[in-house]
Amino acid sequence: MTAQNAPHFIRALVEQDLAAGRLAGRQWAGFPSDARQSASCPRDDPAALRTRFPPEPNGYLHIGHAKSICLNFGLARDYGGRCHMRFDDTNPVKEDQEYVDAILDTVRWLGYDWKDTQEDNLYHASDYFEAFYACAEYLIEAGHAYVDELPPQELRRRRGTLTQPGEDSPYRARPAGESLARFRAMRAGAHPEGSMVLRARIDMASPNLNLRDPTLYRIRFAEHHRTANRWCIYPMYDYAHPISDALENITHSLCTLEFEDHRPFYDWLLERLAEGGFLRRPLPQQTEFARLNLYYTVTSKRKLQELVSSARVRGWDDPRMPTLVGLRRRGYTPESIQRFCERIGVSKAAQWVDPSVLDGALRDDLESRAPRACAVIDPVDLLIENWPEGAREACEAPWHPQHPEWGRRRMHCSQKLWIERDDVRSAASKGFFRVFPGNRVRLRYAFVIECTGVDLDEAGAVVRVRARYFHDSRSGTPGADVYKVKGNIHWVSQDEAIGATVHLYDSLFTHPQSESAEADWLTLLNPRSLATVCAWLEPSLCTAAAGAHFQFERLGYFVADRIDHTAENPVFQRTCTLRQAAGA
C-alpha cells in the first residue's frame, strides 16, 4: 500500500456508496441548480461523486485546511469525481477579496484544480443568495419557519441549556402570512439590525440545542465584497451550507467534528426542502472527521490574525507561521504537504501531530531531487599554514550523489577557508572526531588536514583554526585512502565564498499545546524562533533561482527565498535540518 491510497473510514464510506450504486443516476444540469432547473435539462452527472472545499474568505489557509483540501480533492481524483472550490462567503463583515485571491492561489499551489476540460467548479455561496431566500419563503409558507422579534438576549435566554429545555417564543405561533410579510420587510431594509430574525420551527425541547428553532437569517446593513449593498439580510452558516451543498450536487459533505451536532439540522433542512420540491435527491450526506492540530503552533484564525496585526511575525507568510503561504515561503513543497496529509490519515480521534512529521515528509520529497551545495552558517577562519600562498586547487562535487547525469559543481581549495564553528573544539573530548588540536579530518571533496592549533579570544571563543594539509590526500586520487579519518567536514574558500543572509527557525511557541492555552497564549511565544545569520556559500550557488531548493550538506534543506533572494543579495531560509545531527 502506498501513502497515496492509505485507507481510512471516509474512503471506506465512499467505496461502499459506489459499490451499492447509491451515487448512480444523479442529475447534474452542468451548474449549481435547484430541482426545477435540473429537471428542465436532465443529464446524468458525469462525476462519480462530488466533494467540496468550502473556506470562508476571512483569513489565510493553514496546515489544517491542507488536510481538508487533500481529503476532498484527493477523493475526487481517486474515484472519478469532482471537487468544487466554494467560498462560504455569507458573512459580509469579516470577508475580503484579498483572502479570496490568496486562497485560490494556495489551493492551486498545493497541486489541485477545480477546473478541467469539462467543468469549472469555482463557486461562491453569495451567488445563491436568491436561492436561499426563495427556500426561506417556502419554509415560512410551509410552517417550518417564523420571524421572531424577541430582543437578542431574550432569544438567547429562551434557548435553554444542555440540562434545561428551551421556551417557546410568543412569536412562534404567529401565522405564516404575518411572518412572510415581516421577512419581506426585513429584506427591503424596513427594520433595524437586531430587531428580528428568521428562525426554523423545529423543537424547543430537543436535547440537541441546534434543533431549538435555530436562526436562519439576520439583518446586517453591511457591504458584502461581492454583492455590495444588494442585501441587508444574511443567511446563517448552518442554513446556507447544506443548501449550497445540495445546489452543487455534492455527494459527500466532509467537515470537522464540531459540526457533528449540527448534522441533524443539516438533514432536517434538506429533507424539508426536498419535500417542497426545491432540492433533488439523493441529498448530500455530511460526514465529520477530526481536525488537525499541530504541536508548537496555533491555527485559530483569530490567533493567527493577532500574531500578524501585533507584528510578532512579519506577515501571513512569515516562515514561522503554520499558514500555507508561510510554509511555502519556508520551503515546504506541495508534494511534502500532500505526503504529510496522507501520512497523518483521517479519523474521528482527536489529532495532535508533531511538526517533525512534516519535516519527515519534506526530507522524503527532497532527498532525491534537491541539488547539494556547501554553506557555512556559523563561520570560523581556517588557515592552512603549509598551503602555498595564492595557490588554488580545483575540486569537484556531484550536484546529487544519485544523479551523476546532473553533472558536477566546482569549487577551489585555498589557504584560507571558512568552516563551521560547531565542527571545532579547542581540545579533544569524548566522542568528538572533528577539528581539535592534533586531530585529522577530511575537507569534503578536497584534502585531509591536521589541526595544529586553535586560537581563542579572551572569552574562550574560537577565533581561528590553524592546520596543515597533506598534498597527497586529495579525494578521488590514488593513495588518498591511506589517510584514515573519522571526521569529514564541509568548507568554503574565503576567496570565492558568496555572502548570504540565512534565516534559521525554531518553533514559534515553547509549549506543545499553545493552541489550547487561552488568555496567556502570547506569553508562550518562543523568543528564539528566528535567528538570522550571515553565512558563506560555495560559488556554484551564484546561479540559484528564487524558490529553488537545496540540501546544504550536513545542515539541512534550504530554499532561496521566493521574494527577497537575488543574485546580488542572496537570502536563504532553512526549511528543516537533516534527520541526523551533523556527522560526528
Active site residues: 56, 291, 301
Of 301 and 343, CB closest to ligand ATP: 301
CB of 199 to ligand ATP, least distance (A): 23
Of 346 and 502, CB closest to ligand ATP: 346
Looking at 32, 64, 242, 284, which residue binds ligand ATP (CB under 6 A)? 64
Of 32 and 379, CB closest to ligand ATP: 32
- CB atoms closer than 10 angstroms to residue 9: 13
- CB atoms closer than 10 angstroms to residue 461: 10
Q: How many residues bind ligand ATP (CB under 6 A)?
A: 14
By CB under 6 A, what part of segment 291-350 binds ligand ATP?
291-292, 299-301
The DSSP result for 318-357, as a single string, is -TTSSBHHHHHHHT--HHHHHHHHHHH---SS-EEE-HHH
Collapse the DSSP code of 311 into the 3-class scheme (helix H, G, I; strand E, B; otherwise coil) and give the result. coil
Helix (H) or strand (E) holding 533: strand 530-537
Cell digits of residue 128: 445563491
Tell me the β-bridge partners of 534: 501
CB of 6 to ligand ATP, least distance (A): 16
Spell 379-405 as b/e; 16+ CB within 10 A means b: bbebbbeebeeeeebebebbbbeeeee
Of 171 and 237, CB closest to ligand ATP: 237
CB of 57 to ligand ATP, least distance (A): 8
Per the CB < 8 A criterion, the answer to whether 346 and 506 are in contact is: no
Looking at 51, 68, 415, 473, which residue binds ligand ATP (CB under 6 A)? 68
CB of 74 to ligand ATP, least distance (A): 13
SS (H, E, C) 90-111: CCCCCCCHHHHHHHHHHHHHCC
CB of 11 to ligand ATP, least distance (A): 16
Q: Tell me the residue type at 20.
A: A
Of 82 and 201, CB closest to ligand ATP: 82
* CA nearest to 226, candidates 361, 122, 150: 122
Looking at 65, 440, 474, 565, which residue binds ligand ATP (CB under 6 A)? 65
| Residues in the chain, overall count | 584
CB of 93 to ligand ATP, least distance (A): 13
Q: Is 67 in the site for ligand ATP (CB under 6 A)?
A: yes
Residues 255, 245: Cα–Cα separation, whole Å:
12
Chain Cα centroid distance, residue 21: 35
Burial class (CB in 10 A: 0-12, 13-18, 19+), 451: buried
Residue with cell 571533496: 445
Of 55 and 242, CB closest to ligand ATP: 55
Q: Is 90 in the site for ligand ATP (CB under 6 A)?
A: no
Selected range binding ligand ATP among 50-58, 139-147, 340-348, 535-543, rule: CB under 6 A: 50-58
Residue 164 vs residues 157, 159, 173, 206, 212: alpha-carbon distances, Å: 11, 9, 21, 10, 12
CB of 316 to ligand ATP, least distance (A): 14
CB within 8 Å of 463: residues ≥ 6 apart: 380, 381, 455, 456, 457
Selected range binding ligand ATP among 13-21, 48-56, 209-217, 272-280, rule: CB under 6 A: 48-56
Residues 373, 386: Cα–Cα separation, whole Å:
27
Phi then psi dihedrals of residue 58, to 5 deg: -125, 20
Selected range binding ligand ATP among 65-73, 309-317, 485-493, 529-537, rule: CB under 6 A: 65-73
CB of 63 to ligand ATP, least distance (A): 7
Of 70 and 541, CB closest to ligand ATP: 70
Of 35 and 71, CB closest to ligand ATP: 71
Residue number of the CB closest to ligand ATP reads 64
Of 64 and 74, CB closest to ligand ATP: 64
CB within 8 Å of 190: residues ≥ 6 apart: none
Q: Is 201 in the site for ligand ATP (CB under 6 A)?
A: no
* CA nearest to 304, candidates 104, 509, 454, 465: 509
Of 68 and 121, CB closest to ligand ATP: 68
Collapse the DSSP code of 207 into the 3-class scheme (helix H, G, I; strand E, B; otherwise coil) and give the result. coil
Looking at 56, 149, 203, 381, which residue binds ligand ATP (CB under 6 A)? 56
By CB under 6 A, what part of segment 499-518 binds ligand ATP?
none
The contact pattern for ligand ATP, residues 252-281, with x = CB under 6 A and - = no contact, is: ---xx-------------------------
HSE toward the beta carbon, residue 141, CA cutoff 13 A: 9
CB of 511 to ligand ATP, least distance (A): 18
Selected range binding ligand ATP among 63-71, 78-86, 185-193, 463-471, rule: CB under 6 A: 63-71
Looking at 26, 49, 55, 196, which residue binds ligand ATP (CB under 6 A)? 55
Selected range binding ligand ATP among 60-68, 164-172, 219-227, 430-438, rule: CB under 6 A: 60-68
CB within 8 Å of 188: residues ≥ 6 apart: none
Of 132 and 550, CB closest to ligand ATP: 132
Helical residues (DSSP H) of 128-249, grouped into ranges: 129-141, 152-158, 176-187, 237-247
CB of 180 to ligand ATP, least distance (A): 32
CB of 256 to ligand ATP, least distance (A): 4
Collapse the DSSP code of 559 into the 3-class scheme (helix H, G, I; strand E, B; otherwise coil) and give the result. strand
| Residues lying near ligand ATP in the complex (CB under 6 A) | 54-56, 64-65, 67-68, 255-256, 291-292, 299-301
